[in-house]
Protein backbone atom coordinates (compact mmCIF):
# COMPACT_ATOMS: atom_id res chain seq x y z
CA UNK A 1 0.00 0.00 0.00
CA UNK A 2 1.02 3.60 -0.43
CA UNK A 3 2.61 4.92 2.72
CA UNK A 4 5.05 7.49 3.98
CA UNK A 5 8.69 7.49 2.96
CA UNK A 6 10.51 4.25 3.72
CA UNK A 7 13.84 4.43 5.52
CA UNK A 8 15.46 1.68 3.46
CA UNK A 9 14.27 2.74 -0.02
CA UNK A 10 16.64 4.41 -2.53
CA UNK A 11 13.92 6.47 -4.20
CA UNK A 12 12.45 7.57 -0.86
CA UNK A 13 15.93 8.79 0.05
CA UNK A 14 16.14 10.67 -3.26
CA UNK A 15 12.74 12.30 -2.65
CA UNK A 16 13.88 13.30 0.83
CA UNK A 17 17.19 14.62 -0.50
CA UNK A 18 19.31 12.16 1.46
CA UNK A 19 20.68 10.75 -1.80
CA UNK A 20 21.58 13.34 -4.44
CA UNK A 21 19.83 13.31 -7.81
CA UNK A 22 19.45 15.55 -10.83
CA UNK A 23 15.94 16.83 -10.20
CA UNK A 24 13.90 17.82 -13.23
CA UNK A 25 10.63 18.86 -11.64
CA UNK A 26 8.38 18.25 -8.69
CA UNK A 27 4.63 18.46 -8.03
CA UNK A 28 2.54 17.88 -4.91
CA UNK A 29 2.88 14.11 -5.10
CA UNK A 30 5.48 13.44 -7.81
CA UNK A 31 9.24 13.84 -8.15
CA UNK A 32 11.06 13.58 -11.49
CA UNK A 33 14.81 13.11 -11.82
CA UNK A 34 17.44 11.71 -14.16
CA UNK A 35 18.17 7.98 -14.11
CA UNK A 36 21.66 7.22 -12.79
CA UNK A 37 22.16 4.49 -15.42
CA UNK A 38 20.51 6.05 -18.46
CA UNK A 39 19.52 3.92 -21.44
CA UNK A 40 19.79 7.13 -23.47
CA UNK A 41 20.58 10.78 -22.80
CA UNK A 42 17.84 12.34 -20.71
CA UNK A 43 16.43 9.04 -19.36
CA UNK A 44 14.24 10.19 -16.48
CA UNK A 45 12.12 8.67 -13.73
CA UNK A 46 8.83 9.92 -12.27
CA UNK A 47 8.05 8.63 -8.77
CA UNK A 48 5.49 9.28 -6.03
CA UNK A 49 6.74 11.31 -3.07
CA UNK A 50 5.68 8.52 -0.73
CA UNK A 51 6.59 4.87 -0.63
CA UNK A 52 4.60 2.41 -2.70
CA UNK A 53 6.10 -0.59 -4.40
CA UNK A 54 3.86 -1.33 -7.36
CA UNK A 55 1.42 0.42 -9.65
CA UNK A 56 -1.71 -1.18 -8.19
CA UNK A 57 -0.71 0.16 -4.77
CA UNK A 58 -0.80 3.84 -5.70
CA UNK A 59 -4.00 5.89 -5.83
CA UNK A 60 -5.38 6.97 -9.19
CA UNK A 61 -4.62 10.54 -8.17
CA UNK A 62 -0.90 9.76 -8.49
CA UNK A 63 -1.42 8.41 -11.99
CA UNK A 64 -3.40 11.50 -12.91
CA UNK A 65 -0.47 13.62 -11.78
CA UNK A 66 2.35 11.43 -13.09
CA UNK A 67 1.32 11.35 -16.75
CA UNK A 68 1.26 15.13 -17.18
CA UNK A 69 4.62 15.20 -15.39
CA UNK A 70 5.98 12.64 -17.88
CA UNK A 71 4.73 14.92 -20.68
CA UNK A 72 6.43 17.90 -19.07
CA UNK A 73 9.66 15.94 -18.69
CA UNK A 74 9.56 15.04 -22.39
CA UNK A 75 8.92 18.69 -23.23
CA UNK A 76 11.72 19.88 -20.93
CA UNK A 77 14.11 17.41 -22.56
CA UNK A 78 12.87 18.61 -25.94
CA UNK A 79 12.27 15.07 -27.19
CA UNK A 80 9.64 14.00 -29.69
CA UNK A 81 10.60 10.31 -29.75
CA UNK A 82 10.51 8.48 -26.45
CA UNK A 83 9.17 5.46 -24.56
CA UNK A 84 7.26 5.39 -21.28
CA UNK A 85 8.09 2.24 -19.32
CA UNK A 86 6.80 0.97 -16.00
CA UNK A 87 7.89 -2.33 -14.40
CA UNK A 88 6.16 -4.12 -11.51
CA UNK A 89 7.85 -6.94 -9.64
CA UNK A 90 11.21 -8.63 -9.90
CA UNK A 91 10.08 -11.02 -12.65
CA UNK A 92 9.00 -7.99 -14.66
CA UNK A 93 12.45 -6.43 -14.25
CA UNK A 94 11.60 -4.01 -11.47
CA UNK A 95 14.93 -3.37 -9.73
CA UNK A 96 13.88 -0.59 -7.37
CA UNK A 97 10.75 -1.45 -5.37
CA UNK A 98 9.32 2.07 -5.40
CA UNK A 99 6.82 2.78 -8.20
CA UNK A 100 8.34 4.70 -11.10
CA UNK A 101 7.67 5.61 -14.69
CA UNK A 102 10.64 5.73 -17.00
CA UNK A 103 10.74 8.42 -19.68
CA UNK A 104 13.30 7.14 -22.17
CA UNK A 105 14.21 9.38 -25.08
CA UNK A 106 14.84 7.56 -28.35
CA UNK A 107 18.06 8.92 -29.79
CA UNK A 108 18.11 10.13 -33.34
CA UNK A 109 20.20 7.46 -35.07
CA UNK A 110 20.72 9.77 -38.01
CA UNK A 111 22.83 11.90 -35.65
CA UNK A 112 24.97 8.88 -34.81
CA UNK A 113 23.52 8.38 -31.32
CA UNK A 114 22.57 4.78 -30.57
P1 LIG B 1 13.49 -0.62 -12.77
O2 LIG B 1 14.32 -1.73 -13.36
O3 LIG B 1 13.21 -0.84 -11.32
O4 LIG B 1 12.25 -0.34 -13.58
O5 LIG B 1 14.36 0.69 -12.92
C6 LIG B 1 15.10 1.24 -11.86
C7 LIG B 1 15.92 2.37 -12.43
O8 LIG B 1 16.42 3.12 -11.33
C9 LIG B 1 17.14 1.91 -13.26
O10 LIG B 1 17.04 2.46 -14.57
C11 LIG B 1 18.33 2.46 -12.49
O12 LIG B 1 19.35 2.94 -13.33
C13 LIG B 1 17.72 3.57 -11.66
N14 LIG B 1 18.40 3.81 -10.39
C15 LIG B 1 18.77 2.89 -9.46
N16 LIG B 1 19.37 3.47 -8.42
C17 LIG B 1 19.36 4.81 -8.67
C18 LIG B 1 19.85 5.93 -7.95
O19 LIG B 1 20.41 5.84 -6.84
N20 LIG B 1 19.67 7.16 -8.51
C21 LIG B 1 19.06 7.31 -9.73
N22 LIG B 1 18.93 8.56 -10.22
N23 LIG B 1 18.58 6.26 -10.44
C24 LIG B 1 18.74 5.03 -9.92
ZN1 LIG C 1 10.30 4.28 -1.51
DSSP 26-89: E-SSEEEEE-SS-SSTT-EEEEESSB--SGGGS-HHHHHHHHHHHHHHHHHTT-SSEEEE---S
Mean pLDDT, rounded, for 73-92: 97
Q: From the CA of 93, how far away is ligand 1's center (Å)?
A: 11
Q: Best of 19, 37, 52 to mutate for ligand 1, by most ligand atoms within 8 A of CB?
A: 37
The model's pLDDT over 4-28, given as tens digits with 9 standing for 90+, comes to 999 999 999 999 999 999 999 999 9
Query: 40 vs 2, which has greater pLDDT?
Result: 40
Q: Give 107's pLDDT tier (boundaries 50, 70, 90).
A: confident
Q: Give 70's pLDDT tier (boundaries 50, 70, 90).
A: very high
Report the C-alpha gap between 113 and 59 in whole angstroms. Answer: 38
CB count in 10 Å sphere of residue 15? 23
pLDDT on residue 110: 65
Q: From the CA of 48, how far away is ligand 1's center (Å)?
A: 14
Q: Give 111's pLDDT tier (boundaries 50, 70, 90).
A: low
Residue 100 annotated in active site: yes
Which ligand 1 atom is the nearest neighbour of the CA of 86? 4
User: In CATH, what is the architecture of 10-111?
Assistant: 2-Layer Sandwich (3.30)
Q: Best of 55, 94, 95 to mutate for ligand 1, by most ligand atoms within 8 A of CB?
A: 95
- Closest ligand to the CA of 14: 1
Q: Which of 21-25, 61-65, 110-114 has the lowest mean pLDDT?
A: 110-114
Distances (CA, A) of 46 to 99, 101, 103, 110, 111: 8, 5, 8, 28, 27
What are the residue ranges spanned by the domains of the chain?
A: 10-111
The model's pLDDT over 31-57, given as tens digits with 9 standing for 90+, comes to 999 999 999 999 999 999 999 999 999
Amino acid sequence: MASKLAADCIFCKIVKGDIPSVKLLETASTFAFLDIGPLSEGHALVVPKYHAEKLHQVPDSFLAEAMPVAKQVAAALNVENYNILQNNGRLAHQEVPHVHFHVIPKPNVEEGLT
